[in-house]
Amino acid sequence: MSGALEQHLRGIRAEGRGAFVPFLVIGDPDLETSLALTDALVEAGADVLEFGFAFSDPPADGPVIQAADQRALTAGVTPPAAFEFLDAVRQRHGTPVVLLMYYNLILQFGVDAFYARAARAGVQGVLVADVPVELAGGLVEAAERHGVAPIFIASELTPADRLAQVATRGGGFVYTVARVGVTGEQAELAAGLPATLARLRAAVDRPLLAGFGLSTPEHVRRVRAAGADGAIVGSALVRQIEAHLGDRPAMVRAVGDLARRFAEAAREEDVRC
Amino acid sequence: MRSEGTFGGRFGGYYVSELLVPCLEELEAAWLEARDDPAFRAELGALLRDYAGRPTPLYRSGALSAELGCAVYLKREDLLHGGAHKTNNTIGQALLAKRMGKRRVIAETGAGQHGVATAMAGALLGLEVKVFMGAVDVARQRPNVQRMGLFGAEVVAIEQGSASLKDAINEALRYWTEQVRDTFYVFGTAAGPHPYPSLVRDLQRVIGEEIGQQLAPGKPTAVIACVGGGSNAIGAFAHFVDDPDVQLIGAEPGGDGVATGRHGATLSAGRPGCLHGSISYVLQDAHGQITETHSVSAGLDYPGVGPEHSHLKETGRAEYLPVDDAEALDAFRWLARREGILPALESAHAVALARRLKGRFGPDDVVVINLSGRGDKDLDHVAKLEEAGR
Ligand SMILES: Cc1ncc(COP(=O)(O)O)c(C=O)c1O
């Protein structure tokens, strides 16, 4: 049975366009500004909102997201405060929300309590950056108990047996790594991306969203052309936060403008054959 | 993976980015195969003997024996080439890297001992070495930075976070994620994702095996070792874990005192969590953010600990006690004056704990302290502390 998130993404695909999924760290640089930035992302055409809870030691993230985590932690953002932020987002917008987490924050919140609270905040999917699919049994059960999709990552390095587990255990969409590495902007995407997407497509019947390293609207067009159903963009947007730290209106404008260009690139007529 | 790599079903695992799982899988398979290959074992054994100087002596310390009122032995890992037990691990992993056809190895380092030992093994075996080290540690462990340079390794100073060991590990993990295809990560302690806790223990268990042989037909009443990530301690303990007569005691860095919050006593004051790829005790705040640690000794300044130690603690098989900076510094000076042996500040924690446990042992008891490294690297740091009046 596929949930609301997957249906939402399939609907976008049926319209012949790609999904645009921006990523922010909750509370970067503070909770109030995050809310204004979220408004701007929705207005720019975000199809799904992806949020991260700041963690002190994020080994899957490059320098831009690390700095965002630090800003949020300095602003005093805790997981309970992040959930209240998500409650506020839900009151303002109907856009589906997914979370990118590190495992320790979930463990310390309590696994079941975390997914229960996430569900109450309207969260539709959760990806845990440091839990591989075969160790995620307890998380998947808790997610499903509360109607949250357990999202997993796959890359060109993921072998067939583990991809099969992503297919059976996962939900929502497959987070497809556009370039092997950590998060961050990159000049080049992986040359093998079309082949990787084709392999994933054959193994997993679920929308494929590409992320990691997408820094320009052109990259979004390219991952769409390579066969992705949409694009996740984090560091490039967060970079705009960093660049306008002293000036909130300019920050919100810059993030919104850039997001609009990404959204338009994702929306372009289906470029696949 | 052939195994989930847990200890007691609860601690351990490999909680890493999806991208790293295939190479941990490759590492696990390569290690299981090498471990059982007589040719690999012969090559490793010969290097440990002829190049690194194993077996290391088990020395009966007159001064400590008189002080504790029982036989006290020092396992002299400080005499191993490189000046610490770390060489047991790095030669083993570097040989494994070569066997796996990797040309480049990376490592994290705190005190610089693991970085030096990796650089040394790289020079010996013709591997390119890149070492990640917190900027704070680069400043407080200068001689080791120079040694790594002489061995041809590149040292990358890390400014992120608290700029010490945990941040160096984060950065090494990031670099590895970028370069998985041709890079081997030589992990420095018995922590991190599976298979490292087991791999590092297997390579360090020679310490306890030799202690067993050197005391035969007798055996120790207690084995005492300092615990940072836990490699020298698990190396000293592993051989005795199944013998309930042998007490296993770990000395954790108590910093300014556990009550001050400025310490690195993970097992004494932390709680289970997930850091650097495994479930184990972690020093963290109420929400799970990793807290900054403090210790006079850079090699113990780490908010995590190997998962097998968490298991040994929870089952009561081993006990772990904090030793604060002042006590460790006192033991450092005491051993120098009384035995002419300068221990690493890390190892001084084990010496200090043995002295504190004095009343526990009787005349027939045999206590072994694992002297994990020598203290030359700490001279500058201790001199500065002395100027500051400590
Ligand atoms: C001499 C010495 N002893 C102990 C340690 C702590 O590490 P572990 O707990 O892995 O033995 C270090 C780490 O750098 C060290 O240099």
**pLDDT tens, position by position, B53-78:** 999 999 999 999 999 999 999 999 99
Which residues are bridge partners to B128 per DSSP? B104
| Contact residues, chain A to chain B, C-beta under 8 Å | 55-63, 66, 73, 78-80, 102-105, 107-109, 129-135, 152-155, 157-159, 162, 177, 180-182
Residue A201: in which H helix or E strand, if any?
helix A193-203
Ligand 1 centre to CA of B372 (Å) is 7
Identify which of B113, B155, B106, B151 has the alpha carbon closest to the alpha carbon of residue B134: B155
Which residues are bridge partners to B367 per DSSP? B72, B222
Report CB contact under 8 Å: B166, A57.
yes
Report CB contact under 8 Å: A108, B177.
no
Residues sharing a CB contact under 8 Å with residue B52, sequence separation 6 or more, in sequence order = B80, B81, B82, B87, B88, B91
Q: Across all residues in chain B, what is the average pLDDT?
A: 96
**Contact A89/A38 with Cβ under 8 angstroms?**
yes
**Encoded amino acid at A93, one letter:** H
- Please tell me if residue B29 touches chain A, with a CB cutoff of 8 Å: no
Residues sharing a CB contact under 8 Å with residue A243, sequence separation 6 or more, in sequence order = A251, A254
Q: Whose CA is nearest to atom 15 of ligand 1?
A: B299
Residues with C-beta less than 6 Å from any ligand 1 atom: B 84, 110-111, 113-114, 189, 226-233, 299-300, 344, 346-347, 372-373
**Encoded amino acid at B99, one letter:** R
What are residue A32's phi and psi, to 5 degrees? -65, -45
Quote the pLDDT of residue A270.
60
CA-based nearest distance A56→chain B, Å: 5
Which option is the CATH number for B21-47+86-199: 3.40.50.2300, 3.30.930.10, 1.20.1250.20, 3.40.50.1100? Answer: 3.40.50.1100
Quote the pLDDT of residue A273.
42
Read off the tokens for B100.
């796996």
CA-based nearest distance A109→chain B, Å: 7
What are residue A19's phi and psi, to 5 degrees? -90, 145
Q: How many Cα atoms sit within 13 Å of B252 on the Cβ side?
A: 30
Per-residue pLDDT of chain A (273 residues; tens, 9 = 90+): 479 999 999 999 999 999 999 999 999 999 999 999 999 999 999 999 999 999 999 999 999 999 999 999 999 999 999 999 999 999 999 999 999 999 999 999 999 999 999 999 999 999 999 999 999 999 999 999 999 999 999 999 999 999 999 999 999 999 999 888 777 777 777 788 999 999 999 999 999 999 998 999 999 999 999 999 999 999 999 999 999 999 999 999 999 999 999 999 999 876 554
What gap in Å lies between CA A28 and CA A32, rounded to an integer?
A: 9
Q: Which residues in chain A have their CB less than 8 angstroms from residue B173's CB?
A: 59
Burial (CB count within 10 angstroms: exposed 0-12, middle 13-18, buried 19+), residue B348: buried
Q: Give me the mean pLDDT over the B2-13 stretch.
A: 94
Q: Which residue does chain B place closest to A180, by CA atoms? A: B178
Mutate which of B310, B346, B370 for ligand 1? The one with the most ligand atoms within 8 Å of its CB, which is B346
Share of chain B above pLDDT 90, in %: 91
Query: Residue A145, Cβ neighbours under 10 Å: how many?
Result: 12
**Contact B278/B192 with Cβ under 8 angstroms?**
yes
Which of A65, A100, A108 should one mutate to test binding to chain B, selecting the residue with the greatest count of B CBs within 10 A?
Answer: A108
Q: Residue B125 above 70 pLDDT?
A: yes
What gap in Å lies between CA A44 and CA A203, rounded to an integer?
A: 33
CA-based nearest distance A69→chain B, Å: 11
A87 is annotated as an active-site residue: no
Quote the pLDDT of residue B274.
98
Q: Helix B86-99 and helix B113-125: axis angle, to 10°?
A: 40
- Please tell me if residue B2 touches chain A, with a CB cutoff of 8 Å: no
Residues sharing a CB contact under 8 Å with residue B384, sequence separation 6 or more, in sequence order = none
Q: Please tell me whether the peptide bond between B195 and the residue prior to it is cis, using omega within 30 degrees of 0.
A: yes
Coil, helix or strand at residue A209: strand
Q: Give me the mean pLDDT over the B37-41 stretch.
A: 98
What gap in Å lies between CA B274 and CA A132, rounded to an integer?
A: 13
Which option is the CATH number for A4-265: 3.40.30.10, 3.20.20.70, 3.40.50.10860, 3.30.565.10? Answer: 3.20.20.70
Quote the pLDDT of residue A191.
80
Q: Give me the mean pLDDT over the B341-362 stretch.
A: 98
Report the CATH architecture of B53-83+204-387: 3-Layer(aba) Sandwich (3.40)
Q: What long-range pairs does B286-291 form, CB within 8 A, spacing at least 24?
A: B286/A108, B287/A78, B287/A79, B287/A80, B287/A105, B287/A108, B287/A109, B288/A55, B288/A79, B288/A104, B288/A105, B288/A107, B288/A108, B288/A109, B289/A55, B289/A56, B289/A73, B290/A56, B290/A57, B290/A104, B290/B166, B291/B261
Mutate which of B113, B353, B370 for ligand 1? The one with the most ligand atoms within 8 Å of its CB, which is B113
Share of chain B above pLDDT 70, in %: 100
Which residues are bridge partners to A231 per DSSP? A20, A210
Report CB contact under 8 Å: B178, A78.
no
Complex prediction ipTM: 0.96
Single out the catalytic residue among A28, A61, A69, A156: A61
Report CB contact under 8 Å: A79, B282.
no
Query: Residue B3, Cβ neighbours under 10 Å: how many?
Result: 12
Report the catalytic residues of B: 86, 108, 372
A39 is annotated as an active-site residue: no
- Please tell me if residue B158 touches chain A, with a CB cutoff of 8 Å: no
Mutate which of B88, B187, B189 for ligand 1? The one with the most ligand atoms within 8 Å of its CB, which is B189
Q: Which residues in chain A have their CB less than 8 angstroms from residue B279's CB?
A: 107
For residues B291-309, one letter each, b for 16 or more C-beta atoms within 10 angstroms of the residue's C-beta and e for the rest, the string is bbbbbbbbbbbbbbbbbbb
Burial (CB count within 10 angstroms: exposed 0-12, middle 13-18, buried 19+), residue A105: buried
All CATH 3.40.50.1100 domain ranges in chain B, comma separated: 21-47+86-199, 53-83+204-387
